[in-house]
Amino acid sequence: MSLMRRHIGTVTLRGKGNNAHCHSERREESRSLLGKMLRVAQHDIQRLRFALVCSAMCAVTALAASIHAAPPYYDHWETFDNTDGLPSNKTLCVLATADDVWAGTDQGLTRFTDGQWRTYTPDDGLAHRAVLAIAEDSRTGDIWIATMGGLSRYSAGRFDTFTQRTSGLANDVVYGVTVWRGQVWAATAAGASRYDVARDRWTIFDETNTPMHEIWCYSVIGCENNIYMAVWGGGLLEYNTGRDRWKDYRDPDGEMEIDLFRNDGLIHDVVASVDCDAKRRVWIATYFGLSSYDGRRWRNFSETDSPLVSNFVNYVATREDLCWIATDNGLNASNRDDWWAYRRDDATGKGVISWHPEDGPVERFTTDTIFPHNYILGVSFQGDDLWLATEKGLARAKMTRDSQVHATDTRRHRGRHNDTTDRTTKGATNP
């Protein structure tokens, strides 16, 4: 408990700085407004009194809103399942590209384009029906698909499949895939494979040439000059491509059931997923909590000392400086300091959403719609929309005006720049 208090205190201190900056801007605005009002007052003292009162009320309201009001949140949810054309409700991953949404299920790959779902199976050339991960090559538009039976490339209607028998792929059970600078990285059950597409060259990374003491790779991503690999039971691996060096991050206490010392390193070695945010912080999903590493310091989160909805974290996906955390018991979003928690109330079928600011009270909301199941395996983004892969189908979330009326700083929540004027207007007119 004392650790938790210390932790929260640090967060609060950092947050105050941010708020101070924010408040300073508001005082400038107020001074400017006041000056205008004084000039007007030279002609009409009554009008001045009225304006001062209004100004003071607005300032107090805005200050309160900046501290306590929640950013906009995803309050409108749609579900897509087998009644909509999905081959199965067991969706294992989702990838939203600029034009399409791709989802992997236990019964094939499915693509949402022009409002229709089109499913691909091994009959179409897919390596295996169970699709575990999907990645897009941003240079070519090709889609790479990790399956339980090999790696497939979808390119303008054609599937090319790579297996351990027909290619240099390390193993046919491919849990994760990413495309980084023209190279395809595949996390497999027997190490990782790198496929240099232009050179048609495969490389295997396993216990023989990396610090990978376990070879069960679950997820892989590229971040600047580094490749990060989530190794189930083996922690996190970092490969510096420029120096051709590997480094492993392991749980320092080595304990399976408890985390002895807080923030001393990776929270647990059973790592399921990894991603990197705009601040180059690495977010690591483990089955025993969440870790975040900024290159110098670790921050660890568990359901007992943070708003994390479950320690069993399946997947992490970042957008700008915000990490979305898919667990077996709902969804979180966090920038380390502020947290959102999304859960489905199975009794009512409604959404229970809570905002946990670092420096204010928790706010709770209820939505009529929510994702179809709390077991979430994938997160992706398309414009303002959020897509989730869950145990009972896909979910697409939007932010409606109802949620945006709470906005005072949408950047903090949505992780990107929004229309400042629009944001300010909403904050001022809908306190």
Partner 1 sequence: MTAHEHLRRVARIPGLVAAAVVCAQCAAALADDSRQCGPRSMLVEPDTGQLLLVCENRGDILRVDPRDGTVVARGTTGQQPFALCANPDRTSYYVSCRRGQEINEFDARALRVTRRFPLLGDPTGLAVSADGTRLYASVHSLDQVAVLDLSTGNEIARLSAGNGPESVRLWPGSGRVYVTNLLSNPVPPQQACRNEVTVINDATGRVVERVTLDNANVGRGIDFATDFAVAAISRPKNLVPMVQVARGWVVTNGFAILSPDRDRPPVQLLIDLPNQFFSDPYDVAVTPSGDRFYISCAGADMVVSIDVSGVRAVLDDIDAGLIPRPGDHLGLSRRYVSARIPTGTNPHALALTPDGSTLYVANRLDDSVTVIDTAADRVTRTLTIGDPGPPDRLMRGERFFHSAARTFQGQFSCASCHPDNGFDGLQYDLEPDGLGRNILDNRNMRDVSGTGPFKWVGSNPDIGTQCGTRTAKWIMRTGWLNSVQVVDLTTYIQSIPPVVNPYRAPDGGLTPAQKRGKVLFDRTTTNEGRPLADGERCDFCHSGPKYTDAKTSDIGTASPTDSATEFDSAHLNNIFESAPFLHDGRSATLEQLWTDHNPEDKHGFSRDWTKQQLNDLVEYLKCL
List contacts with partner 1 (CB under 8 A): 139-142, 153, 155-158, 160, 164-168, 170-171, 182, 190, 197-204, 206, 208
Q: Whole-number minimum distance, CB 296 to partner 1, in Å?
A: 33
Q: Whole-number minimum distance, CB 140 to partner 1, in Å?
A: 5
Q: Which of 225, 223, 214 is nearest to 187 (CA)?
A: 214
Q: Whole-number minimum distance, CB 191 to partner 1, in Å?
A: 9
Q: What residues have CB less than 8 Å from 236, skipping those under 6 apart?
A: 228, 229, 230, 248, 249, 250, 266, 271, 274, 282, 284, 293
Q: Whole-number minimum distance, CB 382 to partner 1, in Å?
A: 18
Maximum CA pair distance of the chain?
88
CB closer to partner 1, 19 vs 203? 203
Q: What angle do CA 321, 220, 417 make, to 5 degrees?
A: 20
CB closer to partner 1, 245 vs 401? 245
Q: What residues have CB less than 8 Å from 22, skipping those under 6 apart?
A: 66, 409
Q: Whole-number minimum distance, CB 190 to partner 1, in Å?
A: 7
Q: What residues have CB less than 8 Å from 258, skipping those under 6 apart?
A: none
Q: What is the DSSP letter of 127?
A: S
CB closer to partner 1, 125 vs 307? 125
Q: Whole-number minimum distance, CB 211 to partner 1, in Å?
A: 16
Q: Whole-number minimum distance, CB 139 to partner 1, in Å?
A: 4
Q: Report H helices in 236-349.
A: none
CB closer to partner 1, 81 vs 206? 206
DSSP, collapsed to helix, strand or coil, labels residue 263 as: coil
Q: Which of 364, 268, 251, 347 is nearest to 307 (CA)?
A: 364
**Angstrom distances, CA of residue 101 to CA of 31, 43, 94, 137, 395:** 49, 61, 7, 14, 11
